[in-house]
């Protein structure tokens, strides 16, 4: 496992200083996953894969928007990750059922 001071964590911390959601490039996603090999992947059906990543004290939820943008959402605690994940999976279930609703990926 790489140090928390790796390039990707420095980059994300800089982006997160502007808010809790950061856009990623595919290379940055790969670097983040390499820096945290113990991540968990959740199949969100029509929502693709959601990843829960922990490195040291940092919790990150990574997902992809319907437009293909890769996002890294900084989360304060494991409890916050699990609550957000449960809500997001419920949102995708409603989408699958044809609710006509949309997900705002940039909502904090």
The total number of structural domains that make up the chain: 1
Domain-embedded: residue 105:
no
- 65-98 pLDDT tens trace: 989 999 999 999 999 999 999 999 888 888 777 7
pTM of the full structure: 0.84
Spatial separation of the C-alpha atoms in residues 9 and 20, rounded to whole Å: 14
Nearest to 107 by CA among 82, 79, 88: 88
Q: Is residue 106 part of a domain?
A: no
Residue 51 lies in a domain: yes
């Amino acid at each position: 496992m790489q140090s928390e001071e790796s390039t990707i964590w420095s980059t994300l911390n800089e982006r997160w200083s502007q808010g809790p959601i950061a856009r990623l490039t595919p290379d940055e996603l790969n670097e983040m996953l390499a820096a945290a090999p113990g991540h968990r992947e959740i199949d969100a059906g029509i929502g693709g894969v959601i990843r829960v990543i922990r490195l040291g004290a940092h919790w990150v939820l990574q997902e992809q928007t319907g437009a293909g943008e890769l996002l890294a959402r900084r989360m304060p605690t494991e409890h916050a990750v699990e609550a957000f994940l449960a809500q997001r999976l419920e949102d995708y279930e409603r989408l699958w059922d044809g609710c006509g609703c949309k997900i705002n990926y940039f909502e904090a």
